[in-house]
Structure 1
Amino acid sequence: MSEVFERYERQYCELSSNLSKKCTSATLLDGERKKQKISEIKTGIDDAESLIRKMDLEARSLQPNVKAVLLVKLREYKSDLNNLKSEIKRIASSNLNQAARDELLEAGMADTLTVSADQRARLLMSTERLDKSSDRIRESRKTMLETEDLGVSILQDLHQQRQSLLHADNTLHGVDDNTSRSKKIVTNMSRRMSRNKWIIGAIITVLVLAIALILYFKLSK
């Protein structure tokens, strides 16, 4: 797992959570305060897009098995960011009911339990969306850890295979040395046999000559 990617990921998760809270609070405002909040949210969305681009670049520079897991997580983050964009567009284009605005202004409790049923529903939806995002992140982390365990297992198998190959190579070197020694022994034996053949041939020749001389002298008498 890339430490750089994890750093960007933490920054994005914190930023996404803050943007969701700001979207919820923006629905309770109007006028200049609402415009200012929307501007802050848009700036945050730009920062979130920048973080996603950085995560994408970092993920694509990693090994294929790790990259595949991280790209799945990125798709989830991109979907989450698209939902935030849709939410801010809806907030920017919507107009709160004037009576509800007056009631909120009079009460002076924009962030209290006096929110309308529709606003509470949106808050619940935002919370549910964050919970789902957290679940997806946990699942992605689980998949990533399983992939890392698989990678470690494969590396261990490769190490064992390398050791086996090195042992086999050493064995082959030993066999080659034995073969070389055997070849030398056979060569020496062959030379000795050739030398012995010449010696035996010479002895036989001498014996034949001796017998021939003996017969010659006997016959000449």
Structure 2
Amino acid sequence: MSEVFEGYERQYCELSANLSRKCTSAVHLDGEQKKQRISEIKTGLDESEALIRKMDLEARSLQPGVKTILLAKLREYKSDLNNLKSEVKRISSTNAGQAARDELLESGMADTLMVSADQRARLLMSTERLSQSSERVKESRRTMLETEELGVSILQDLHQQRQSLLHAHNTLHGVDDNIGKSRKILTAMSRRMSRNKWIIGSIIAVLVLVVLLILYFKLFH
């Protein structure tokens, strides 16, 4: 919930409770005292209307989910303010000749004030519940952000490990190429050695044969 809205809301609830007390006391006043008290109440009503307008503007600037809840509360505050205005009109319209009638209406006004007080109490309870819900939402958001940061960190670690594996794979691929080249060189050398062995063997055989022929000619001729 908006902290700005909550500040306006607390001011309105305090002002509304004060106006209700003044309305109750104004019923028992006469003359100039009553006029002065009514003037004070009307000034308070103007302040209350200004606070409601500020709350309305603040509520409409918030997200849709919070906005709907706050506008519903505003409707109750406006109803409460209208009740106060009706009480002020009834108090202002009375005079000395209507004292008996005021006596009859006093119980009804007291009931109205009681209803308003109950309504404000319910509104304050609703505000408290909304504040608690807002704290739970904030805590959930903090947990979500921490989880998101942890996920990003894990993804970064995995990316680094992937790069390391790719580098190792490229290194092994280069080693395989070198091993393949070395194998080809060794195979070629082995073939040359085999060929040289056959050549040397052939030369030795020819030399042995020549020596045997020479010995044969020397011994038998």
TM-score (structure 1 length as normaliser) = 0.62
Structure 2 gap segments, 5+ residues each: 27-33, 100-106
2:16 is the counterpart of 1:17: no
Verify the 8 A CA contact 2:60 2:67 in the aligned structure 1.
no
Distance, in Å, in 1 between the alignment partners of 2:84 and 2:10 is 21
TM-score (structure 2 length as normaliser) = 0.62
Verify the 8 A CA contact 2:8 2:51 in the aligned structure 1.
no
Verify the 8 A CA contact 1:45 1:85 in the aligned structure 2.
yes
Q: Which structure dedicates a bigger proportion of its chain to helix?
A: 2
RMSD, aligned α-carbons: 4.2
Q: Which residue of 2 aligns with 1:140?
A: 133
Distance, in Å, in 1 between the alignment partners of 2:160 and 2:75 is 57
Percent identity (aligned): 13
CA 1:187–1:23: 2 relative to 1, 3 Å: farther
CA 1:41–1:26: 2 relative to 1, 3 Å: farther
Verify the 8 A CA contact 1:26 1:91 in the aligned structure 2.
no
Q: Which residue of 2 aligns with 1:50?
A: 57
2:74 to 78, 81, 104: 81
Verify the 8 A CA contact 2:8 2:55 in the aligned structure 1.
yes
Secondary structure of the residue aligned to 2:90 is coil
Distance, in Å, in 2 between the alignment partners of 1:191 and 1:138 is 79
Distance, in Å, in 2 between the alignment partners of 1:16 and 1:91 is 13
CA 1:91–1:97: 2 relative to 1, 3 Å: same
User: Which protein is bigger by CA-based radius of gyration?
Assistant: 2
Output one character per residue of 1:68-92: Cα deviation in whole Å (capped at 9) or x when no partner.
Answer: xxx5444332221111122233444
Give the CA deviation at 1:203.
0.7
Verify the 8 A CA contact 1:8 1:51 in the aligned structure 2.
yes
Verify the 8 A CA contact 1:48 1:81 in the aligned structure 2.
yes
1:130-209 superposed matches below 5 A = 130-162=123-155, 164-166=157-159, 168-169=161-162, 171-173=164-166, 175-176=168-169, 178-204=171-197, 206-207=199-200
CA 1:9–1:48: 2 relative to 1, 3 Å: closer
What is the aligned length? 193
Q: Which residue of 2 aligns with 1:124?
A: 117
CA 1:91–1:14: 2 relative to 1, 3 Å: closer
Range with bigger deviation, 72-81 or 5-14: 5-14
Verify the 8 A CA contact 1:76 1:133 in the aligned structure 2.
no
Secondary structure of the residue aligned to 2:52 is helix
CA 1:122–1:21: 2 relative to 1, 3 Å: same
Distance, in Å, in 1 between the alignment partners of 2:5 and 2:92 is 40
2:90 is the counterpart of 1:96: yes
Amino acid paired to 1:162: L
Distance, in Å, in 2 between the alignment partners of 1:13 and 1:89 is 17
Output one character per residue of 1:153-195: Cα deviation in whole Å (capped at 9) or x when no partner.
Answer: 4135314523541452254145325414532441342232233
Distance, in Å, in 1 between the alignment partners of 2:8 and 2:47 is 16
Distance, in Å, in 1 between the alignment partners of 2:120 and 2:15 is 12
Q: Which residue of 2 aligns with 1:68?
A: none
